[in-house]
Amino acid sequence: PGAAFQQLRSVGGALSRDEDAGILAAARGMAVWHRAARFCQSCGSGDMAPSKAGNARKCGACGAGAYPRIDPSVIVLVTSKGGEHALLGRKANWPEGRYSTLAGFCEVGETLEETVVREVFEESGVRVSPPS
């Protein structure tokens, strides 16, 4: 009674410790993965159960293990040379006043630095040069 699930972005500002955001994000990610990984990738059985303290799932039919995907990504704050200005983005459907740093996933074979250059251009149209 009186409690409801909320998107982490909408409640992040209410957290008293920065460390709590990482804990909540990891917990949400694992919960979403467990909900989605209900069938064995090897035999198709629906007899999947959490294992390894919830960090994996194991098939009761064939014994195969499943682990969550880990996709390399970047989150970057682009600043002017003097550091006086920052480039922020926002989605059209976000509430007024909400902005974000830029982020994106690495493509196969791409370095983190290449990802930053590509993602910043894709999201903002700004060309950047990462420091060497």
What are 13-53's pLDDT values in tens digits?
788 888 888 888 888 889 999 999 999 999 999 999 999 99
What are 73-124's pLDDT values in tens digits?
999 999 988 889 999 999 999 899 999 999 999 999 999 999 999 999 999 9
What six digits make up the tokens of 98?
Answer: 């909400």
DSSP 8-state secondary structure symbol assigned to residue 6: -
pLDDT value at residue 130: 67
Which of 122, 101, 118 has its CA nearest to residue 110?
118
Contact 64, 54 (CB under 8 A): no
Helices marked H in 1-132 — which ranges?
8-11, 18-36, 112-124
Which of 97, 129, 94 has its CA nearest to residue 114?
129
Which of 67, 130, 75 has its CA nearest to residue 106?
75
What six digits make up the tokens of 70?
Answer: 């880990």
